[in-house]
Chain A
Amino acid sequence: MAPNVAGLAETFPKLLVRNAHLYGSRPAMRHKDLGIWQTWTWSQVLNLVRAYAAGLHRLGVKRGETIAIVGGNRPKLYWSVMAAQMLGAIPVPVYADAVADELAYVLAHAEVRFAAVEDQEQVDKILSVTKSVPKLEMMFYDETRGLRDYDHSQLRSMDDVIEEGRKALADTAVADWLDKEIAAGKGSDPSIILYTSGTTGASKGVILTNERSIRAAADTVAFDKLTENDVALAYLPLAWVGDHYLNYAQGMVSGFCTACPESPDTAMADLREIGPSFYFAPPRTLELLLTRVMIRMEDAGFIKRKLFHYFVGVARRYGERILNGQPVPLIGRLLYGVGNLLVYGPLKNVLGFSRVRVAYTAGEAVGPDLFSFYRSIGLNLKQLYGQTEAFLYVTAQPDGEIYSDTVGPACPNVDIRISDNGEVQFKSPGMFSGYFKDDAKTAEVMTPDGYVKTGDAGFFDEKTGHLKIIDRTKDVGKLNDGTIFPPKYIENKLKFYPNIREAVALGDKRDFVTVMLNIDLTAVGSWAERNNVVYGSYQELAGHPLVYDMVEKHVAEVNRSLAEDKVMAGAQIRRFLILHKELDADDGELTRTQKVRRSFIAERYAPLIKALYDGSTDADISTEVTFEDGRKGTISARVKIRDMKNEPTPVLGKAA
């Protein structure tokens, strides 16, 4: 199978026309509706998008202006992106779960006049902030439910827009005009503006162009040999660069089929039904899946449990080497074969991984055990590294060269260098053309010779030549005694335990390291059930002495593993506490992509941090929380703090 990169067009609308020609009767998109998978072929999609574009034009959408896309992974929203691009307008996707203020900020900053939204929820949200979005003129909605009685002077159903466009296209003059519009698009035109998740303050609009997006996607399509026969499930936020790149751009370039889940909550079941061949999951999702599997195995019968653990052990010993094509003793191969029949095969089937040919993970450092678990059961999981500014495309691991602690060598045509202060900088075909309306920020991240600063500290591994990312440059700190303190490194070690959902390590410019933890309600809840621990809420469970005992054991193990490494031995965890509430993006503690926002947390939990370092055994805290509907409330609690014994730094010759 040759990857589909030949005959590339320079813009997405032209690609769509090409795909309708080349793969006209192949599926382009699937969506589960009313319990049944609906399919649209590339030629159907082209016709729909043409009608949609004509409809949008009648309503006044013009070349060069922005149009917001708000909602989940639904075909009509992807078509909204395509239709906007067809007219030369620039789609601006916004996270569906953004609260009204965040939404208002992006809509106002992007100066949108039009918004394509999913349903009543999004319409209500935008209506609640119309004052701060003065330029907004009209919304198009996908799901009609509940919207019938709304004032329709500024509202249209997408179906109506498409239908009007279809009627208009019956006139050959209009059809010709649309053909000319498609032809008028240039590769250098912006194709999309993606707002960054805002790990570092207010989000910025990253402008990507048609040509560069397509070139980047074409390189990786070739790299992973993707063809029109592949299938991907689009279940990650539409507004995230990963979805736009991996599903939208790669799908357009290779002609593969993008499947949309029935609803965000059914993604796991849909994954299993669709059986994608290309799969991406952030480490968090992989973690969640593994946690769920482990919990269910704990509840399984004795024989099944033993069988599972035995063969997972076999997989750990031989699985990765078999996947990498390395020599494995015959007995290992035999055992692995039996395991595949009894455990790995069925397990992959349940997880929906049976047909996955290429799987990627990225976004955060992945725990080595987690990573090798999936690889050992035969999932070709690889890592890539990138960021929105690069159109998620800096490094990726080629088949057969997989290491859990590297992110791979530079992608084809990407130039990477490490600056003097250890920062990774790159120059790539897919790099952004600038931040929307923010030249100052653009200048800040660009070097004079045209490289983009990533803000990540990293180095090239001497043995493999792969890039290793340690942490954000500004996050790597030092303890008062000079020991290096990379918080993420410690947090990731903790987070590998299924019971620990989130960790925040502190230690920069301090005497020792402390951590604040979130327990995983699913895992610990199931443990509590089995051990007759009664609790009424997350807060109560988190404060339970037995939970503290259990977590203390995990922290002790992490300390042991830190102590093994001479450099890190000084960064062992001295004290820890379990937070009384889960860190939440709605409260601003995590970004929309679920990354910890350190500075914000440091401020918010200042009393707890003070207590961690002044020796007290507990501390009072009261925090404001935002509910899903935007109302606010307060949670107060007294949080306990535990001291940890530290392992001595290993001395040579001493037995463990």
Chain B
Amino acid sequence: MRATGGPEAAVGDVLLSVENVSLSFGGVKAVSDVSFDIRKGEIRAIIGPNGAGKTSMLNVINGFYHPQHGRITFKGETRARMRPHEAAYGGIARTFQNVALFRGMTALDNIMAGRTLKMHTSFFWQLFRYGPAMREEVDHRHRVEEIIDFLKIQEIRRVPVGRLPYGLQKRVELGRALAMEPELLLLDEPMAGMNLEEKEDMSRFVLDVNDHYGTTIALIEHDMGVVMDLSDRVVVLDHGIKIADGTPDEVKRNQAVIDAYLGVAH
């Protein structure tokens, strides 16, 4: 169930579809024959017990892993192999399970880094930070400041990220992903390791991103409560196999899911 009456962003056509994807590392099958889709404007959760293949799935989506079988269609284009930078240009941004920021750089610079893709002036101009490069930077900085305001991290703008507490680092990482103005935002366990209050803040931000920017979000999460509150639809993986797909309520009642999470009596 959503916090404020029904889905905010218009949920529409399929943005990305995964068809019969299988991925194995040597003899280990990480994902086998999984199909699902992500629709425009929705918050889609991928859940499952440890080792279910959730992160592998995310890595497949943003082109970091290449599946041995199956197809991925993003914005109507089917690709056998997509490299991460192609995914990024295509409008897919992500955050990582272990925060992956430039620890020595400030929060501002980290988020600014997310704008790199959108910078068009030549290296030459940027070298001297003059003319068009200056104007472009001011424009990008404005966008970044909007994100800083959005995520309420004004007070840490100039603080090197390495000195920030974990919860705030996660928020900066979200900011950097947002700076790319993605169409599809992949969040790998955005609430892992957070306390209750931080989780609530982060949930608020995820909902706000979806509402305010209309961004489609796919998230992996362990915390069932969070998943059920946030997402429109949920895919459940277990041992690399899709065992359920549907609204949070449907998934909650699914016997296979209950077994996977609580175990089966033998």
Instruction: Scan residues 69-105 of chain B and give those whose CB is less than 8 A from a CB of chain A.
Output: none
A35, B8: Cα distance in complex, Å: 29
**Nearest-CB residue, chain B, relative to A266:** B155
B4 contacts A150, CB within 8 Å?
Answer: yes
Contacts of A150 in B (CB 8 A): 4
CB of B21 closer than 8 Å to a CB of A = no
Q: Say yes or no: A34-B146 contact (C-beta < 8 A), given A265-B154, A265-B155, A266-B154.
A: yes
User: A31-58, CB under 8 A of B: which get 1 and which 0?
Assistant: 0011110000000000000000000000
CB contact list, A1-55 vs B, under 8 A: 33-36
- Overall SS of chain A's interface: loop
Number of A-B contacts (CB under 8 A): 42
- Say yes or no: is B200 at the interface (Cβ < 8 Å to chain A): yes
How many residues on chain B are close to A (CB under 8 Å)?
A: 21
A628 to B152, CA, bound (A): 17
A117–chain B nearest beta-carbon distance, Å: 17
Task: Confirm or deny: B36 has a beta carbon within 8 angstroms of a beta carbon on chain A.
Answer: no
* Those of A421-454 within 8 Å (CB) of chain B: none
Q: Which of B154, B200, B211 contacts A149 (CB 8 A)?
A: B211
In this assembly, does B261 line the interface, its C-beta being within 8 Å of a C-beta of chain A?
A: no
Residues of B within 8 A of A146 (CB): 204, 208, 211-212
A269–B156 Cα distance when bound, in Å, is 10
Chain B residues with CB below 8 A from A263, complex form: 152, 154-155
Nearest residue (CB) in A for B144 is: A35
Q: Return the contact of B5 from the options A149, A269, A628, A629 (Cβ within 8 A).
A: A149
Residue interface bits A133-147, CB-to-B below 8 A is 1, else 0: 000000000000110
| Nearest CB in chain A: distance from B71 CB, A | 36
B42-66 contact mask (Cβ, 8 Å, vs A): 1 or 0? 0000000000000000000000000
Q: Is B137 an interface residue (CB 8 A)?
A: no
A148 within 8 A of B: yes
Interface 1/0 per residue, B132-171 and A, CB below 8 Å: 0000000001100110111010110100000000000000
Interchain CB contact under 8 A, A629 and B200: yes
Residue B197 interfacial (CB < 8 Å): yes
A262 in the interface (beta carbon within 8 A):
yes
Q: A628 to chain B: which residues have CB within 8 Å?
A: 197
Interface size range of chain A in the complex: 10 to 19
Partner of A34, one of B149, B197, B204, B211: B149
Which single residue of chain A is at the shortest CB-CB distance from B108? A35
Which of A34, A265, A269, A629 is B145 in contact with, Cβ under 8 Å?
A34
Given contacts A35-B145, A146-B212, A149-B4, is CB(A627)–CB(B197) below 8 Å? yes
B interface SS class: helix
Query: Which B residues touch A629, using CB under 8 A?
Result: 197, 200
* A525 shortest CB reach to chain B, Å: 13
Contact indicator A269/B155 (Cβ below 8 Å)? yes
Once the chains are docked, how many angstroms separate the CA of A263 from the CA of B157? Answer: 12
Encode B202-233 as 1/0 by CB contact (under 8 A) with A.
Answer: 00100010011000000000000000000000
Chain A residues near B148: list those with CB within 8 A. 34-35
Give min CB distance, A373 to chain B, whole Å.
26
What is the distance, in angstroms, from B229's C-beta to the closest C-beta of chain A? 14
List of B residues within 8 angstroms of A36 by Cβ: 145
Bound-state Cα–Cα, A266 to B157, Å: 10
User: A533 vs B141: C-alpha distance in the bound complex, in angstroms?
Assistant: 42
Closest to A34 in B: B145
Within 8 A of A (CB), among B175-206: 196-197, 200, 204
**For A627, what are the chain B residues with a Cβ–Cβ distance below 8 Å?**
196-197
Chain B residue contacts of A33, Cβ below 8 A: 149
CA gap between A29 and B13 in the complex, in Å: 48
Closest CB in chain B relative to A82 CB, distance in Å: 25
Alpha-carbon gap, A562 to B28, bound state (A): 74
* A267→B8 CA distance, assembly (Å): 34
Most chain A CB atoms below 10 A, which of B141, B149, B152: B149
Instruction: Give the residues in chain A near B200, CB-CB below 8 Å.
Output: 629
Q: A563-607, CB under 8 A of B: which get 1 and which 0?
A: 000000000000000000000000000000000000000000000
Cα separation A146 to B212 with both chains bound (whole Å): 7
Residues of A contacting B145 with CB < 8 Å?
A: 34-36
Which residues on A sit within 8 Å (CB–CB) of B8? Answer: 148-149
Chain A residues closer than 8 Å to B157, beta-carbon distance: 35
In the assembled complex, which residues on chain A have CB atoms less than 8 Å from the CB atom of B197? 627-629
Closest CB in chain B relative to A220 CB, distance in Å: 32
CA distance A94 to B208 in the complex (A): 26
With contacts A34-B142, A34-B145, A263-B155 taken as known, whether A145 is within 8 angstroms of B4 at the C-beta atoms is no
Neighbouring A residues of B149 by C-beta, 8 Å:
33-34
Bound-state CA distance A489–B16 (Å) is 68
Query: Which residue from chain A places its CB closest to the CB of B207 in the assembled complex?
Result: A146
Residue of B nearest to A627 (CB): B197
List, in ascending order, chain A residues with CB within 8 A of B204's CB.
146
A34 neighbours in B (Cβ, 8 Å): 142, 145-146, 148-149
- How long is the Cα–Cα vector from A331 to B152 in the complex, in angstroms? 50
A124 to chain B, nearest CB (A): 9
State the CA gap A627–B195 with chains docked (Å): 12
Find the B residue at minimum CB distance from A151. Answer: B5
Assess whether B154 is in contact with A145, with CB atoms less than 8 Å apart. Answer: no
Q: Give Cα A269 to B4, complex, Å.
A: 36
Contacts of A149 in B (CB 8 A): 4-5, 8, 211
Instruction: Provide the residues of chain A in CB contact with B155, threshold 8 Å.
Output: 262-263, 265-266, 269
How far is B138's CA from A36's CA once the two chains are assembled, in angstroms? 12
Residue of A nearest to B155 (CB): A265
Q: How far is the CB of B152 from chain A (nearest CB, A)?
A: 7
0/1 string, A201-214, CB within 8 A of B gives 1: 00000000000000
A104 to B44, CA, bound (A): 38
Within 8 A of B (CB), among A131-172: 145-146, 148-150
What's the Cα separation between A508 and B124 when bound, in Å?
77
User: In chain A between 178 and 193, which residues have their CB closer than 8 angstroms to a CB of chain B?
Assistant: none
The A616-630 residues at the B interface (CB cut-off 8 A) are: 627-629
- State whether A145 touches B212 (Cβ < 8 A): yes
Please indicate the chain B residues that have their CB under 8 angstroms from the CB of A269 in the complex.
Answer: 155
Contact check, A148 vs B211: say whether CB atoms are below 8 A apart.
Answer: yes
CB neighbors of A among B1-32 (8 A): 4-5, 8
- Give A245-283 as 1s and 0s: 1 = Cβ < 8 Å from B's Cβ atoms: 000000000000000001101100100000000000000
Chain A residues 470 to 505 lying within 8 A of chain B, measured CB to CB, are none
A sample of 13 inter-chain contacts (CB < 8 A) reads: A33-B149, A34-B145, A145-B150, A146-B204, A146-B211, A148-B8, A149-B211, A150-B4, A263-B152, A263-B154, A266-B155, A269-B155, A627-B196
| A interface, CB within 8 angstroms of B | 33-36, 145-146, 148-150, 262-263, 265-266, 269, 627-629
With A35-B145, A145-B150 known, 5 other A-B pairs at CB within 8 A are A149-B211, A262-B155, A263-B155, A265-B154, A266-B155
Closest 10 CB pairs of A and B: A265-B155, A34-B145, A35-B145, A266-B155, A262-B154, A263-B154, A266-B154, A149-B8, A146-B208, A34-B149
